[in-house]
């Protein structure tokens, strides 16, 4: 590990000017509070104590000046730690004018961010000397450095307003919102108030052999057919099995015959295969843990522009944590990881989840809490030969942007895996 004898980046002049301005004029303090200043921004210990005292007075709604701060420090027993009234007077003297508060604070902030970067770099250095996988270390480093920058950037309200106006115009023109992608099912899009929202996690849950993964594949097929960049993290199937199913859905041919190579090369199969080959679609079956999932998702979004990721399924996503964890804790951490990935990257993630025999999301209620929307699937009757058609219900258990406790009806062809809104579209 590299040892440094240099002092961490800091600016005593900027810190003094900032604190002096806050004690001289309330508008300077309001500016600092709006910028999210905290005690850790200050390198000099005495300055950290003074700021926390000023912030505490402000939080109680009291006026602030040199005398009040000095009195508060004496009451708390911290006056001697900072040097008493003499030190406070020096801080005020360092502030030539409160009009320079932005300049003073910029110096404080710049030095603090550099210190944060140094701490993060040293943490990554320690990890790099350990047994951790290189990709996991790089993803962890990227996430940490990104968080340092993102926590300091305020949201541009005018930009958000412009997006709202653009979305309203798009909807009025019969188009889809820019932050929304269609599922391919008009009735479901309608219940979701336009479709899947970027930046959120959606849950498809069902008991075994009910079609939860198949619904995810059908939504992916819609993305593929419409050239919407998308991806699949399959923790259940190998790449060949995934491709077999996607071709079967797109071509309306029995998946078993495609898997066994017994189907004839029909125009439908050829077209489906050609489209899948050229589509902006990527899949991986090698995401053994949450760190790997985060790394893969980031690469797909930043390098491929992916809008939708289907995770099949979330109970199989292992999480890295200290010590032994219960299933509830494991799935809660997995849920939080997926939610954070969706939010940080601005991508929609559909997480397929198993359902317990009691009809609850297996292992963790955290999934439903984190999700934008949760869909519970159930069969209606037994499959009908020869193509094993059956009806199924989609129950909207949770819906952040629309009505809840709504049931939608669908038809499933067990042979091809195609799910439609009615039987007439099925072979």
CATH for 65: 1.10.860.10
Residue 327 and residue 233 share a domain: yes
Omega within 30 of 0 (cis) for the link into 313: yes
Residue 331 belongs to some domain of the structure: yes
Residue 7 belongs to some domain of the structure: no
Enumerate residue ranges in the chain where pLDDT < 50: 1-2, 423-427
Domain endpoint, select from 150, 166, 191: 150
Residue 217 and residue 96 share a domain: no
Residue 180 and residue 40 share a domain: no
> How many Å is the Cα radius of gyration of the chain?
28
Residue 302 belongs to some domain of the structure: yes
| pLDDT value at residue 368 | 86
Residue 87 and residue 186 share a domain: no
Residue 282 belongs to some domain of the structure: yes
Residue 131 and residue 31 share a domain: yes
Where in the sequence is the domain holding 360, given as residue range(s)? 176-425
Residue 45 belongs to some domain of the structure: yes
Residue 144 and residue 184 share a domain: no
DSSP state letter for 226:
T
| pLDDT value at residue 1 | 46
Residue 207 and residue 276 share a domain: yes
Residue 159 belongs to some domain of the structure: no
Residue 226 and residue 114 share a domain: no
Nearest to 29 by CA among 94, 101, 82, 108: 101
CATH assignment of the domain containing 222: 3.40.50.300
Dig out the tokens for 207 from the structure: 């008991």
Residue 167 belongs to some domain of the structure: no
Q: Strand 373-384: give its sheet, edge to edge.
A: 281-284, 230-234, 308-312, 348-354, 201-206, 373-384, 389-399, 406-413, 419-420
Residue 157 belongs to some domain of the structure: no
- Write out the H or E segment, with its range, that includes residue 298: helix 290-304
Residue 359 and residue 225 share a domain: yes
3-class SS of residue 190: helix
Residue 290 and residue 193 share a domain: yes
DSSP 106-128: HHHHHHHHHHHHHHHHHHHHHHH
| pLDDT value at residue 427 | 36
Residue 221 and residue 139 share a domain: no
Residue 386 and residue 261 share a domain: yes
Q: What's the number of domains the chain is made of?
A: 2
| pLDDT value at residue 424 | 38
| pLDDT value at residue 152 | 53
Does the predicted model carry a pTM greater than 0.75?
no
């Amino acid at each position: 590990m590299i040892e440094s004898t240099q002092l961490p980046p800091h600016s005593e002049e900027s810190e003094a000017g900032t604190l002096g301005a806050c004690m001289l004029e309330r508008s300077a303090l309001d500016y600092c509070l709006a910028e999210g200043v905290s005690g850790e921004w200050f390198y000099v210990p005495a300055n950290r104590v003074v700021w926390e005292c000023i912030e505490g007075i402000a939080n109680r709604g009291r006026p602030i000046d040199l005398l009040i701060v000095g009195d508060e420090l004496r009451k708390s027993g911290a006056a001697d730690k900072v040097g008493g009234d003499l030190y406070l007077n020096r801080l005020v003297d360092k502030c030539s004018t409160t009009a320079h508060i932005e300049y003073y604070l910029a110096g404080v902030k710049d030095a603090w961010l550099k210190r944060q970067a140094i701490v993060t770099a040293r943490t990554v250095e320690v990890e790099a000397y350990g047994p951790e996988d290189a990709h996991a270390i790089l993803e962890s480093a990227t996430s940490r450095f990104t968080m340092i920058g993102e926590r300091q950037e305020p949201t541009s309200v005018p930009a958000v307003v412009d997006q709202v106006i653009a979305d309203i115009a798009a909807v009025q023109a019969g188009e889809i919102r820019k932050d929304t992608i269609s599922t391919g099912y008009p009735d479901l899009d309608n219940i979701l108030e336009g479709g899947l929202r970027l930046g959120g996690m959606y849950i498809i849950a069902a008991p075994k052999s009910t079609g939860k993964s198949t619904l995810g594949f059908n939504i992916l097929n819609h993305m593929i057919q419409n050239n919407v960049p998308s991806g699949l993290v399959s923790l259940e199937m190998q790449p060949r099995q995934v491709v077999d199913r996607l071709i079967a859905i797109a071509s309306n041919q029995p998946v078993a015959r495609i898997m066994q190579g017994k189907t004839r090369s029909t125009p439908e199969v050829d077209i489906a295969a050609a489209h899948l080959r050229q589509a902006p679609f990527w899949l991986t079956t090698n995401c053994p843990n949450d760190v790997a999932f985060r790394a893969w998702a980031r690469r797909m979004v930043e390098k491929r522009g992916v809008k939708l990721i289907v995770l099949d399924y979330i109970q199989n996503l292992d999480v890295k944590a200290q010590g032994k964890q219960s299933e509830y804790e494991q799935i809660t951490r997995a849920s939080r990881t997926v939610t954070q990935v969706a939010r940080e990257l601005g991508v929609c993630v559909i997480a397929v989840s198993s359902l317990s025999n009691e009809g609850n999301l297996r292992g963790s209620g955290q999934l439903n809490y984190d999700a934008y929307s949760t869909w519970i699937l159930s069969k209606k009757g037994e499959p009908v030969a020869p193509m094993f058609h059956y009806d199924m219900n989609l129950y909207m258990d949770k819906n952040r942007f629309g009505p809840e406790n709504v049931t939608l009806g669908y038809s499933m062809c067990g042979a091809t895996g195609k799910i439609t809104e009615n039987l007439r579209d099925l072979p």
